[in-house]
Amino acid sequence: MNHSGAIGVFDSGVGGLSVLHHVRQILPNERLIYIADSGHVPYGDKSPAYIEARSLTLTRYLLSQGADAIVIACNTATAAAAHALRVKYNKFPIIGMEPAVKPAVAATKSGVVGVLATVGTLESARFAALLEKYAGHVKIVTQGCPGLVEQVERGHLTEADTRRLIERYAAPLLVQGADTIILGCTHYAFLAPLIREVVGADITLVDTGEAVARQVQRRIQIELPHRLSAGAKVEFFTSGDTEQASRIISGLWGEAVSVLQLPQEFL
């Protein structure tokens, strides 16, 4: 039986918009529902149990709104909650994020790859497994980046204080010879131009947004073959302040949008 569905996307805040951009480019006729969980940002300093609980709550809301595929547009939430979501909602494609270790290892010429990520991502078993599987003889240098997510949430993409944070976090990677840097948080994609200025033109920056969007396309085609498009539309929700979310998301999305508050039981 044919049915119409939507693609639900969530992140701790606005970083997942970088993934949503790619999903809309690849699947322009889809109805997209995005949740910025800005009332609980950042996830990077929360416990895995807390993040799993939030992820289950947000997924439940997205499914209630007609989503039949879920994108966890957050590396930290993927590490903490992807398994639980796939167990509980095993009839739906659940697509997560992970730092792009494999393509970065393939790209490096110096044999050193740097990773900028949240502490939660770097401490996760999922990230450790990625390193064991793909790192091989390449040296992986990791750097937690407290404060960067909050800068993106404020819309501070080019400010001096954001540059200072990037300079501080990039320096250890460059000193150890990294010629390839993984942007291990979806928020950091919005800082890529500033990161590029700081690290220079010779450093390869690796992001995973487009690869994730193509995975969404593949999973829908394979697992939901009789699905019909619900029509091109993007809806935005937040668990935080709607006025601030509307301002920040409009700027990052590239057009004026209205962001709605999640119902009380999902806050």
Going by C-alpha positions, the residue among 11, 25, 15 that lies closest to residue 234 is 25
165 and 223, same domain (yes or no): no
Count of structural domains within the chain: 2
Looking at residue 2, what is its pLDDT?
A: 59
Write out the two tokens for 232: 């091109």
Residue span of the structural domain in which 151 resides: 101-206
Looking at residue 193, what is its pLDDT?
A: 98
125 and 92, same domain (yes or no): no
Distances in Å between the alpha carbon of 99 and those of 31, 87, 117, 154, 264?
27, 22, 8, 24, 33
138 and 57, same domain (yes or no): no
- What's the CATH code of the domain at 171? 3.40.50.1860
Looking at residue 228, what is its pLDDT?
A: 81
List active site positions.
74, 185
- For the entire predicted model, the pTM comes to 0.94
Q: Tens digit of pLDDT for each residue in 20-44?
A: 999 999 999 999 999 999 999 999 9
Which residues contact residue 51 at a Cβ distance below 8 angstroms, ignoring those fewer than 6 apart?
43, 76, 77, 80, 81, 120
Which residues contact residue 94 at a Cβ distance below 8 angstroms, ignoring those fewer than 6 apart?
59, 69, 70, 72, 82, 85, 86
Domain boundary residue among 158, 178, 206?
Answer: 206
Orientation of helix 17-26 relative to helix 242-253, angle to 10°: 50
Which stretches of the chain score pLDDT less than 50?
none
196 and 220, same domain (yes or no): no
Domain boundary residue among 206, 221, 245?
Answer: 206
